[in-house]
Structures are given as C-alpha cells and as structure tokens.
Chain A
Amino acid sequence: MSFSRRTFLQRGSLLAAGTAAWPEWMPRLVFRNTQTPAKGDVLVVIFARGGYDGLNMVVPLQDFGRYREMRPTVHIPAPDDSNTPSNLRSVNLDGNFGMHPALALSGQGRWKEHYDNGLLGIVHAVGMDDATRSHFDAQDFMERGTPGEKKLNTGWLGRHLTSMRSQNNSPFRAVGMGTMLQAALRGPVPAVTLQSIADFHLQGDTREVARFQQQLAQLYSGEGWLDEQGQSTFAALDMLSTKIGSGTYMPSNGARYGQNGFHQGMMQIAQLVKADVGLEVACIDVGGWDTHANQVTPGATAQGGMANNMLQLAQGVTAFMTDLQDNFDAREKDKQGVTIVLMSEFGRRAFENGGYGTDHGHGNVMYLMGRGINGGKVHADWPTLAEDKLDRGDLAGTTEYRDVLAEVLQKRCGNEAVTEVFPGHTFNFIGVATPLGTVVEPPTAVPVEPTAVPTAVPQPTDVVPVPAKNTVYLPVGYKG
C-alpha cells in the first residue's frame, strides 16, 4: 500500500522535469514565522505498508538450515552458496546475518556501504506486544503506539511533538508525504501533508489569485475542524513561498532520485531539510509488501516482485543520504542530523505458503540510519526458528518496537518524556543510538559515493511491464 506513490506516478514529476517555476506573487498571509530549529535530529519515518518479509531481507545465517527447510522455494541463498551466482546470494554482514543483495550490493541498493560506514543499524526479531496478524489492526496499533489499545486517538509521533514542548511554530514541524496524513502524526500539533512542493500553490491568474487566496482564507477563519485544515494549508502555502521560492530543486552530491512516488517524496523531504523550514518529523510510506504470492522468482529467489520493491526502497534511501551527505556526516557538527527509521507492521510467516509467497507473520526487522545510530551492527536477541521458539508459526519478537522508537526519540530527537509518547510501556533500551552531542566518528572515513544512480527503478510507462504482484502501474494509455 502506498498513499504517496500513486499520485506521483500519474504525472511524472514536474520537479524532475525542471519546470518548477514559482509564482512571484505568492502572498504572505496568515503565518508568522517564529520557529526555532529543533535541537535534535530531523526524524524521517518510512513505513513499509503490507508487512515486509524481514526474514528474506536480513537472512538468519546462524539459523540457515532451519530457515531453508521452512522456505524450500523462497529462501535467499547463503553468501557462500557456490551454486548460485554471487549477485543472487545474501551478503554477509557479521556471520550471523546476511543482507538481501537488492538492498546490499553496490550496483543496487548500496546499503552494505552504509552498514560498513556505521550509518546503518539493523534490529532483528522486532515485535509488537499484540498478536494481531491483521494489516489494519497492526498498522493502527503500531502508529498509535498503543498495541492492543485504541482508546488514545493520537499517534506516537503526534505525542512526541506535543511532549517536546517546543517553541517551534512552523507549519512544517511535521510533514506527511502523500495524500493522507499518516496515523502516527495525529495529534494536536498540525502536520502538513503534501505530494509536490512544486505544485503547492493556487493556480490561476497571478494577481487575481492572490486576492482570491486572501479572501478564501477569511472563509476558513473560524474554529471548526475544516477551518483548521484550511488554515494550516494557508500557513504552509505562505511558508513554502518564503523559504523555498521559485526555482528548480537540484539535489546535492550528484544524488539521483527516480520518478516513482517514494523517490520523489524522499527528495522533497530532503528539500525541506535544506530549506530550514523547522522540520522535525517527516513520514513517508512505501507500499507493495504484502507478498502472499510471487514474492520471489521461481529458481532465482533473490529476484522477483519483492526484490524489485526492495531495490526501489533502498535506492531511494541511498539517494536521500547522498543528497543530505553532510547531515549524515558526524564531522559536520554544525549541520542538523537526520535519522531515518524504517519499519513495517509485521513480518511474514516463517514457513512459505507454496505460491512462492508468504502469509502474515509476526517478528520482523527494523532499520535505523543516521550518524547517531549505533550502526554497522545487527542488534538482535535471536529467538531462533526452532519449532518451540516460534510465535504461532512465525518468528517471535524479542525486542518490542517501542523500545527502538523511544530510544531514537530520546537520544536523537532530544525527547525527555518518552513515557508520554508510549504511555504504560516499560522501556528496555537496547543501545541502538548514541545520545545527541556524542561525536561518533565513522569507523572508516569513506564518504558515500557521489554517484548514486538508480539503475533499475521501474518507470511509469505506457507499456505494462512483466506483471509483478502489488506493484503500481498506470492504466495503459493513461494521459492524465
């Protein structure tokens, strides 16, 4: 499921086409700029909708025999499997775990580089304290931050923003990419939701539309719910015109984003980070992970629908990290840090289902990226895949996801009240992050290469490519 990419795919991107002209007349209305920069990192939360298969993304090499036995036709080969071409085997991380080649390899997602540079930390066998295997309940619980409980109508990020007691009044404190606000961002602090910075203005005769906007704002000046939605939109309109203005966005360091919605969304988050609009939290979704069928290509399990999706995901993240290289570099102390959290509602069943796919499961993998992440490491209290260690046939969760999120909020975002974010939870930090202000030099001083060229990102086209389950394509001949 993806809220965002659908819309991007329709039009291709005006930004990428280099036609992002900003009207000069953009009126300065409602908003009064009193934001102060957040003291901690900008937090970017990527939610993979549908339940990605953590067992195939980060393969348990320490448990490989059992893993292969449970997944005779969908397992990813071991790093030393000489019967498989090397680009179709998992990539050894630490002897205990291996990363899927679409994520890891330098010609593909390049995450092994981030891992080696200490920027990427992985947490495995992450679970939630609720057994649901329903997508909708699992996402709902996870984003509320209250597993098993639907009483609280705010999301964990919404409560994070509230509990920061910040003076930051920017309409861009919290941003959701796409057409619908992510449930995690629900709360008293208004969040902007947008698809395209370039198109974010009223369209019409320039002089008249400026007057129109001022007058329309009057019709939304009440205190009703819709008035509030209107007001935050007007505030966002004003701020974007002030801080970003006209012109085409040029990614830095040769970062290359693809045309799909996830890449375009990441690029716009990067643009907001650089524009210094007071951004603290950004949410973005990436869909297509509900791989009940045709998850892998028969006989070449490192390829197929999920591999394509992983490649797209990994390349988007790498382009973003390249674009914001300074924000990910511990030596750039004056630059605000950026921390990425990548999560999904649940893992998939440890046993394959026979249709080259996997059904809903439980324990899963989370990824953390940033200069303050305890990276180059797989954090895992591995439960094993032994029969009696499974959670109803699935990988068990030995780390509760809220422990990971809370540690990031506390150590990287400067939140001193994580008990307000996850009420009722007993915390058990596992050391995924280092506190703000602690300078951690990268283990090697290898900068991320400046030529992150996505090589195989599917492009919208009038020709429907090989059917891949759960992948977004346009109607043939769609002209919008």
Chain B
Amino acid sequence: MKLDRRQFLRVGGAAAAAAATGAALAPEVEAATRPARRWRAKTSAEMPAPDLETLLLTRAAFGPRPGQLEHARQIGGMKWLEEQLDYENIDNSEVEELLLNRLPTLNWSNKQFLDLDERGQGVRELMQATIFRMVYSPRMLHEVMAEFWSDHFNVSMETNNVRYFKSVEDRTVIRKHALGKFKDLLTADAQSPAMLDYLDNAVSTKRQPNENYAREIMELHTTGAAVNGYPYSEEDIKQVAKCFTGWTIDNRANAPTRGNFMFNPDTHDNSTKTVFGEQIAASLGDDDGRIVIDLLCAHDATPRYIALKLARRFVCDDPLTDAPQLVERVASAFERSDGDIRDTLSALFTSREFGSSFNNFGGRLSRPTDLIVRMLRVSGLPMDKFTIGQNAPVFNRINYALGRMGHLPFYWSTPDGYPDVKTAWAASGVMLMRWNVGLAMCGVGAGSGMGARMVDNWTPLTAEGVQTSFATAGEAVDYWTERLLHRALLAEDRQQIVGYLTNGGTDGTPFAGVANRLPYAVAMIFDSPYFQWR
C-alpha cells in the first residue's frame, strides 16, 4: 500500500507531516512537553527519547537488528512503515524455508494432527517458529501483528484439544489475515477448530446451546464488554449462541476434511432469532452466524474497541484517559476502510500521539517475550546460532525464562489474551528474571534454567562486526549504549555504569585494564530501566 503525504496530514497533523518527510519529530515536542529533569525522579519519560525510527523499530517491530535502524533512518520512518505494511512484497523465504526444513509440522493439516494423535510436536514446533520469526523475519510488523491478534483471539495450549489445532490456526487464521480485513479475520477465527474447541462452540447444539463463544465474540473480539446492557444484553448472548449452533469441527475419522470447520445443519437451531434488535429469519442455516458477524463488524462499538486495543498496544496503557482523540481517529480509519487493518495501523503510526508518545506517556514496558527477542535482535545473533528442531538449546533457555515470567507463547489460559499494561509485567519475580536474562545473555549467568549463557559459544560481545578495543572505559560504555539502546543515557546513569565497569574508576580509565568486566557492564545496560522500556 502507498501512504501519501496528504493522508498523513489528514490523520496526524503537523507532527505526522514532519514525520512524513523523514524528520524526527521528537525534539520540538520534547521542548514543549518535557518538565525540567530532576535527578532521582527518573521516569521513562525523562530519559532521552528515541527518534521516530527507533520508536517504530521497537514498537512496530521487535527491535532493530544491526543495520536496520540505519536503513530506516536513511529512507525515513514513514517509508519504512510503508514497506512493512506491504509485507507480501518482503521476501521472507530464507526464514520460512529454514523453518519448514527443521519444523515439519508447520504445514500440517488438522487431519494430519488428528490422524497421528499429535499434539506435542506441533505445539513445540509452533512455539519455536514463533520466537524464531520474531527474531529473524524481515516482515517485522507482520510478526508484531501476529502476536497482537494471537492475544486478541487467544486460545490456550493449556486446553488439551487446542493443541491439535493451534498450528493450523496460526497459519490460516492469524498470519493469513494479520494485516488484512478484520471481518475476514473474525470469520476465519469463528470457523477455526482451535477456537471452536477452546470456547466450546463445537459442542453447542440446538438442544443444548453453549454460551461461551457467543459471549466472548462480543466481549473480547468485537464490541468490548457490555455495561448496563449496552452493546449487548444477556438475552443477546443467548440469541447469538443459537445463531452459532451447528458451527463445529468435522470429526468423521475417515473424512479428508477431518478436523476442519463444518456446519452441521442437524444440530443448528433454525428458529427465528433477534440480535441487537434485528430479527434473523428462521431456517437460514449457517447464514445466521455470518449475519451475526456482519452485525458485530458494523456495530459502532467494534471500531472503538479495536482502536482502543491497538492504541494500548502501541501508545499507552490507558488510551481512553490519556489519548481519547487517538482512539476516535483510529476508530474512524477502521470504519472508513471497512475494517482494513493496514489503513487502521497507518492512522495510528502516523499520529501525533504515537510520534510523541515516549515523551507524553512514557515508554511501553517490554513484555518478557519482547524483551528477550529484542536482546537477540539488537545484539545480532546470527541465524545459524539459533538452532531449532529436535535440539534447540537457545529456544529451551528462552522458554525457561518466559515460563518463569508467565509469558510462554500461546499459554495464557483465559480468552482475554496476555495483558498489555505495564503493571502486569513487573512483579518482583519477573523483575528478577529480567535481570537474570541479561546476565545469561552476556554469558555470565548461572543456575539450572539458563545456565551461564543463553547461546553457546556466542555473546553480544563476540557478535560479528562489534568493536572490541577501546581506548577508555567511557568510550566502551558509549559504544554499547548506542548499540543496544540507540539513544543516550542520562549523565548520572552513564557515570554509574562507567564506575561499575572500572570498579570505581572514571571515564578516562584505560579500557585494556577492565576489558574482562565488559560482559557485566553490557548485562547492566540490558538490565537497566532503559532497555526494559521500549
């Protein structure tokens, strides 16, 4: 898709216009909004802000791999965004071929999983592929949105049968439509065996309708939760449940379509229904469900709820309070484009609120997966060091850490998906694990979970092309700050890290004498508040 300058002006005002020309918009906003900094009142908003390209690459992507930020700065953030939205034209064959070669279940059908009674390998391989793509796929925004929709349409591997179906769902629902039309995504999800099983619609019949899916398709997938009977009443839930009766999973052992979506007219309730005051005539069969999907996509509340969730993902914890106009603008873009996810995202990323969000709202706290993936990306772990398949030590250590932080891919047990606000991800145990991951990343960890190092025979300090000799300790700290954070530290914090590297020395302390302490100093940059924010 093409983003033109007029579009930016329309949706984003002056800030976006500045952004559209590739100019960083941070400084002017900063001057206007940032209070005088006081030492010891160090919020993320008071740290030196990232420029627009850094912001895009850490929020609309899982962090820049070496060279990517330079590229984005060269072409300008908006051009970068345009490229990423046009993801089908980004060649990802190197990553995908490697994945398929090592992880054969990635292109299995539901029937294959069921016929072979296989729900271990598929899960394991999908989890590996998910982290691997986050680290290496050149379709960076597509990966971010795949994660977003996986949360939005959460199904959990904790539910046993979902494990048969999740891999196919990831491929044919989430990834296929992640940057497509919302209605296609919702429809595909409603017919996804993983969702049909997870929210029990597969067993919902005319005789005994099950309300689980009917409730959540409204509360969580489209309109948001009802307040005092708006947008939906408890009676609407019962009616919607009737509409979806008969939407089930083909369970015939010998059918070529075994395990796929199937409409069963025998268990469908063909009576007349009323949803949101609209009457749905009798005997429409599986059109009942399609009509409900149409009604939900056309409902006023849906664009607002999707916009709210996107704004929360990319801009701030509480958009309704802090950026209500943004929510409204993104919702209009959704409405105008008939639920086109790319147009909706363009409105969001070209907004003033996004461009200035670090200053105005502070950073977004990295969720654990983002934290680890970004560590690997900014330090430039080469693909051949991230072994996957049967023997996958790097993945296993990542998985250990994510388990300890409560963020394993696809393991959130309830249908609301992993939370997206900072308070969910900074409990004491999680803080500690964040720090331990930094130590292990630099090869100076310990313990049974990750061991001394995240990657065998490799650390960020031994990555290809890194500078290894410096005249002074100060030079080394500055180099690693730029490489990992892409922005400066506050002077006081820089002094702390220099002091640590030199064991109480100063900027000018010769590097040669303290070189052996550098892994710890680099770990400290990872473990500092700076890296935790994005």
Partner of B160, one of A219, A227, A236, A473: A473
Q: Determine the distance from Cα of A359 to Cα of B215 in the docked complex, in whole angstroms.
A: 11
Does more than half of chain A's interface fall in helix, strand or loop, or is it mixed? loop
- Least Cβ–Cβ distance between A289 and chain B, in angstroms: 11
A480 within 8 A of B: yes
Which of B39-47, B294-302, B328-336 lies at the interface?
A: B39-47
Is there an interface contact between B413 and A357, defined as CB atoms closer than 8 Å?
A: no
Closest A residue to B158 using CB positions: A472
Closest A residue to B495 using CB positions: A218
On whether A222 and B123 interact (CB within 8 A), knowing A195-B404, A203-B446, A204-B439, the answer reads: no
- List the B side residues contacting A221 at CB < 8 Å: 40
- Least Cβ–Cβ distance between A122 and chain B, in angstroms: 27
B119 within 8 A of A: yes
B18 within 8 A of A: no
- List the A side residues contacting B157 at CB < 8 Å: 475
- Least Cβ–Cβ distance between B49 and chain A, in angstroms: 15
Is there an interface contact between A219 and B493, defined as CB atoms closer than 8 Å?
A: yes
Is there an interface contact between B119 and A464, defined as CB atoms closer than 8 Å?
A: yes
B408 within 8 A of A: yes
- List the B side residues contacting A121 at CB < 8 Å: none
- Least Cβ–Cβ distance between B255 and chain A, in angstroms: 21
Partner of B406, one of A3, A208, A211: A3
B479 within 8 A of A: no
Q: Determine the distance from Cα of A227 to Cα of B426 in the docked complex, in whole angstroms.
A: 10
Is there an interface contact between A226 and B225, defined as CB atoms closer than 8 Å?
A: no
B200 within 8 A of A: yes
Is there an interface contact between A225 and B43, defined as CB atoms closer than 8 Å?
A: yes
Is there an interface contact between B524 and A224, defined as CB atoms closer than 8 Å?
A: no
Is there an interface contact between B444 and A205, defined as CB atoms closer than 8 Å?
A: yes
A354 within 8 A of B: yes
- Least Cβ–Cβ distance between A16 and chain B, in angstroms: 14
Partner of B210, one of A215, A229, A232, A292: A292
Is there an interface contact between B160 and A469, defined as CB atoms closer than 8 Å?
A: yes
On whether A237 and B432 interact (CB within 8 A), knowing A287-B413, A293-B200, A477-B120, the answer reads: yes
Is there an interface contact between B215 and A470, defined as CB atoms closer than 8 Å?
A: no
Which one of A14, A135, A226, A353 has the greatest number of beta carbons of chain B within 10 Å? A226
- List the B side residues contacting A135 at CB < 8 Å: 414
- Least Cβ–Cβ distance between A323 and chain B, in angstroms: 22
Against B, the Cβ 8 Å flags (1 = close, 0 = not) of A459-476 are 000101001111111011
Which chain B residues numbered 398 to 426 have a C-beta less than 8 Å away from chain A?
Answer: 399-400, 403-408, 411, 413-414, 416, 419, 422-426
- List the B side residues contacting A288 at CB < 8 Å: 413
- List the B side residues contacting A181 at CB < 8 Å: 423, 427
Is there an interface contact between A355 and B413, defined as CB atoms closer than 8 Å?
A: no
On whether A223 and B41 interact (CB within 8 A), knowing A7-B404, A200-B432, the answer reads: yes
Is there an interface contact between B427 and A222, defined as CB atoms closer than 8 Å?
A: no
Which chain B residues numbered 139 to 183 have a C-beta less than 8 Å away from chain A?
Answer: 157-161, 163
A10 within 8 A of B: yes
On whether A224 and B44 interact (CB within 8 A), knowing A6-B403, A194-B427, A233-B428, the answer reads: yes
On whether A220 and B529 interact (CB within 8 A), knowing A194-B429, A477-B124, the answer reads: yes
* Interface residue total, chain B, C-beta cutoff 8 A: 85
Which chain A residues numbered 223 to 258 have a C-beta less than 8 Å away from chain B?
Answer: 223-227, 229-230, 232-233, 236-237
B523 within 8 A of A: yes
Is there an interface contact between A229 and B431, defined as CB atoms closer than 8 Å?
A: yes
A427 within 8 A of B: no
A124 within 8 A of B: no
Closest A residue to B435 using CB positions: A202
- List the B side residues contacting A186 at CB < 8 Å: 423
Is there an interface contact between A480 and B42, defined as CB atoms closer than 8 Å?
A: no
* Interface residue total, chain A, C-beta cutoff 8 A: 82
- List the A side residues contacting B428 at CB < 8 Å: 192-194, 200, 229, 232-233, 236
Q: Determine the distance from Cα of A392 to Cα of B427 in the docked complex, in whole angstroms.
A: 39
Against A, the Cβ 8 Å flags (1 = close, 0 = not) of B200-234 are 10011101111110010001000001100000001
Q: Determine the distance from Cα of A256 to Cα of B159 in the docked complex, in whole angstroms.
A: 28
A209 within 8 A of B: yes
Is there an interface contact between A480 and B399, defined as CB atoms closer than 8 Å?
A: yes
Partner of B426, one of A204, A226, A354: A226
Q: Determine the distance from Cα of A19 to Cα of B529 in the docked complex, in whole angstroms.
A: 32
Q: Determine the distance from Cα of A464 to Cα of B161 in the docked complex, in whole angstroms.
A: 11
B379 within 8 A of A: no
B67 within 8 A of A: no
Which of A81-89, A102-110, A172-180, A428-436 lies at the interface?
A: A172-180
- Least Cβ–Cβ distance between A274 and chain B, in angstroms: 20
A133 within 8 A of B: yes
- List the B side residues contacting A203 at CB < 8 Å: 436, 439-440, 445-447, 450
Is there an interface contact between A208 and B527, defined as CB atoms closer than 8 Å?
A: no
A456 within 8 A of B: no
Q: Determine the distance from Cα of A216 to Cα of B46 in the docked complex, in whole angstroms.
A: 19
- Least Cβ–Cβ distance between B433 and chain A, in angstroms: 9
Q: Determine the distance from Cα of A7 to Cα of B157 in the docked complex, in whole angstroms.
A: 14
Q: Determine the distance from Cα of A114 to Cα of B350 in the docked complex, in whole angstroms.
A: 62
Is there an interface contact between B430 and A179, defined as CB atoms closer than 8 Å?
A: yes
B265 within 8 A of A: no
Q: Determine the distance from Cα of A236 to Cα of B444 in the docked complex, in whole angstroms.
A: 23
Is there an interface contact between B430 and A359, defined as CB atoms closer than 8 Å?
A: no
- List the A side residues contacting B414 at CB < 8 Å: 1, 49-50, 135-136, 290
Against B, the Cβ 8 Å flags (1 = close, 0 = not) of A437-480 are 00000000000000000000000001010011111110111111
- List the B side residues contacting A335 at CB < 8 Å: none
B276 within 8 A of A: no
Partner of B429, one of A6, A137, A196: A196
Q: Determine the distance from Cα of A475 to Cα of B157 in the docked complex, in whole angstroms.
A: 8
On whether A222 and B40 interact (CB within 8 A), knowing A203-B439, A354-B208, the answer reads: yes
Partner of B439, one of A2, A192, A202, A464: A202
Partner of B408, one of A3, A6, A11: A6
Known A178-B406, A200-B428, A293-B210; 11 more pairs at CB < 8 Å: A178-B427, A180-B424, A196-B429, A216-B524, A233-B432, A354-B210, A355-B208, A464-B160, A473-B160, A477-B124, A479-B396
Q: What are 12 contact pairs spanning A and B, CB under 8 A? A: A6-B406, A14-B448, A50-B414, A203-B450, A219-B493, A220-B529, A225-B43, A229-B431, A293-B200, A354-B210, A462-B120, A475-B157
- B residues contacting A by CB (< 8 A) are 39-44, 46, 119-121, 123-124, 127, 157-161, 163, 199-200, 203-205, 207-212, 215, 219, 225-226, 234, 365, 396, 399-400, 403-408, 411, 413-414, 416, 419, 422-432, 435-436, 439-440, 444-450, 493, 496-497, 499-500, 520, 523-524, 527-529, 532-533
- A residues contacting B by CB (< 8 A) are 1-3, 6-7, 10-11, 14, 49-50, 133-137, 176, 178-181, 186, 192-196, 199-205, 208-209, 211-212, 215-216, 218-227, 229-230, 232-233, 236-237, 287-288, 290, 292-293, 353-355, 357, 359-360, 392, 462, 464, 467-473, 475-480
